[in-house]
Structure 1
């Protein structure tokens, strides 16, 4: 038996209380303030994270499209969303390798571990894309600074860049607790091992550190741009003051 587990990131935060109202007939297996794990039927799960990830465990494509459209209240092309897909099968041992997951059994705890890791991975994919976009935009001004000794960036636009960078860093810090094992794996050796193998295969910690480092570099560049702009602004004010003083001196003699 082969099962498809696919995670999407909807590129927006989700209000779980509103989502609960959208699917009143689905059975809630687990729920906290940051996630809901539904069971549609036997071995069919839907996992929704408040930071925008949704994972479909053994769901058909038409149902996936319907659920996403219902949550977003918009008929989008789901193929344009960040996604992560694995094939799952039953085996004598838990193992994860090259897009495949092998588990000894399927239950809500196993589904929870798998879905949580895929939700984190696809969220990281979304954050990496946003960080790359910010980095490319700041590179334009770095290149201008290298070629011309100056750059065409207003103080307002620079502040917006800083705001986007800080918001992205804050979202990552708030949403992704990648250094902690989920509570469900604390007291179960098999679940703990499955969680470890998923994190290792998905490179969650390394990717998390990578995007945080990228944002730190972007922030350093923006801080440098801000210092240059502030210096230019201070110099302009100094010249204005000097000119005003000269005008007053001239008035005294004429």
Structure 2
């Protein structure tokens, strides 16, 4: 069996990157193949950049990979790489394969290689990496929401501000997840290519993208509901606080009025 293999590394970039900056670092112009996705074949490797801010490198030697990341202003030291969100995936090539491809969680085997297949695989892995990022974000948000819920017994203006800021962050992350990332949107080019669509669907199913997306959406909705409940409680306490201020002010006004009323009697 004449089987060859290569590695795909998909890395979530720690800061937003414009593909034009990536072009400068690569020293060559990238092509747009899918919506919001640019790629470049250079020598024996392929670089793919997606709108998920994920950079995928196929068959790129580690020294060149490190040099590229450093050119992008990213510290690619081994201990820093471990702090980043990434996934690696094996791509195998077997001309004797009886079907165009086979897919598993760890690897995909292709009957023949093409740039479109490489870009589609990189695109799906990039979606998986982006979901990893949001899963980690929501784990952090879940802990923060629990702290806010536990502190909801007391009231302060600063806490009300924190809740409002946290609610805004939830809205923004939902916007990024559902609108900017298009995590479950299938690229339009796949509708005209049955083999490419089958490859995308099989790999997305193997990586459980749809199920993971539903879990992330559910967690996000649960956190949002919790924060809305806490905000309602806080707003009620705020209203009660204002009511008590008004009552105290009225009592003080009445007291001062009574003093003025009885003052002549005390003077005589």
Quick check: TM above 0.5?
yes
Could you say what secondary structure the match of 1:236 adopts? helix
Say whether 1:113 aligns with 2:120. Answer: yes
The answer as to whether partners of 2:142 and 2:223 remain within 8 angstroms in 1 is yes
Could you tell me how far 1:183 is from its partner in structure 2? 2.7
The answer as to whether partners of 2:34 and 2:189 remain within 8 angstroms in 1 is no
- Give the structure 1 partner of residue 149 of structure 2: 142
Say whether 1:186 aligns with 2:191. Answer: yes
The answer as to whether partners of 1:13 and 1:50 remain within 8 angstroms in 2 is no
Could you tell me how far 1:24 is from its partner in structure 2? 2.4
- Give the structure 2 partner of residue 5 of structure 1: 8
- Give the structure 1 partner of residue 59 of structure 2: 58
Could you tell me how far 1:185 is from its partner in structure 2? 2.1
- Give the structure 2 partner of residue 98 of structure 1: 105
TM-score, L = length of structure 2: 0.85
Could you say what secondary structure the match of 1:46 adopts? strand
User: CA separation in 2, counterparts of 1:75 and 1:97?
Assistant: 29
Distance 1:174 1:69, change over 3 A: farther
The answer as to whether partners of 2:25 and 2:68 remain within 8 angstroms in 1 is no
Runs (5+) with no aligned partner, structure 2: 260-268
User: CA separation in 1, counterparts of 2:119 and 2:34?
Assistant: 12
Deviations 1:173-211 (A, max 9, x none): 123323332233222222111111110011111111111
User: CA separation in 1, counterparts of 2:196 and 2:34?
Assistant: 19
Say whether 1:40 aligns with 2:47. Answer: no
Say whether 1:85 aligns with 2:84. Answer: no
- Give the structure 2 partner of residue 71 of structure 1: 72
Worse overlay, 47-56 or 30-39: 30-39
Say whether 1:161 aligns with 2:163. Answer: no
Worse overlay, 115-124 or 97-106: 97-106
Could you tell me how far 1:228 is from its partner in structure 2? 1.1
Aligned residue among 221, 226, 244 for 1:221: 226
Coordinate RMSD, CA, aligned: 2.1
Deviations 1:32-67 (A, max 9, x none): 77221111124x111112332011111122222222
The answer as to whether partners of 2:23 and 2:30 remain within 8 angstroms in 1 is no
Distance 1:215 1:12, change over 3 A: farther
- Give the structure 1 partner of residue 266 of structure 2: none
User: CA separation in 1, counterparts of 2:31 and 2:251?
Assistant: 78
Could you tell me how far 1:150 is from its partner in structure 2? 4.7
Could you tell me how far 1:144 is from its partner in structure 2? 5.1
The answer as to whether partners of 1:138 and 1:218 remain within 8 angstroms in 2 is yes
User: CA separation in 2, counterparts of 1:139 and 1:253?
Assistant: 49
User: CA separation in 1, counterparts of 2:46 and 2:62?
Assistant: 14
Distance 1:68 1:178, change over 3 A: same
Distance 1:66 1:102, change over 3 A: same
User: CA separation in 1, counterparts of 2:76 and 2:198?
Assistant: 39
The answer as to whether partners of 1:88 and 1:102 remain within 8 angstroms in 2 is yes
Could you say what secondary structure the match of 1:72 adopts? coil
Between structure 1 and structure 2, the one with the greater Rg is 2
Deviations 1:137-162 (A, max 9, x none): 212333455xxx55887112112211
User: CA separation in 1, counterparts of 2:74 and 2:56?
Assistant: 18
Could you tell me how far 1:7 is from its partner in structure 2? 0.7
